Amino acid sequence: MPLYEYECEKCGDIEEVLQKFSDQPLLKCKHCSGALHKLVSHSSFHLKGTGWYVTDYANKSQHNSSGNAVKKKTASKSEKSSGKTS
């Protein structure tokens, strides 16, 4: 269930309320009966794991300007140890 924050326009009190998405928003402050407005808060959930970043979907090959797939060249173990690249 989402946590919503409301701020009173009269007394400035901020109230946190657990509400269903379908619940009606609160209208009156319970301390001074002033008008409330819903605050927009920073989200606290994080997307973790694979598949959430553009790099997770990237192919092992790159595309050239004509749209054809071009495989990346990787140096072999012998080339890496000798410092030579092609």
Nearest to 35 by CA among 25, 43, 45, 44: 25
25 compared with 73, residue with greater pLDDT:
25
* Average model confidence (pLDDT) across the chain: 74
Determine contact, residues 27/4, Cβ cutoff 8 Å. Answer: no
* CA 4 – CA 26 distance, rounded (Å): 10
Tokens matching residue 35: 């008008």
| Residue pointed to by tokens 């606290």 | 44
pLDDT of 12 above 80: yes
Q: What is the pTM of this model?
A: 0.48
- Write out pLDDT tens, residues 29-69: 999 999 999 998 777 777 777 666 666 665 555 555 555 55
pLDDT of 73 above 80: no
* CA 79 – CA 49 distance, rounded (Å): 34
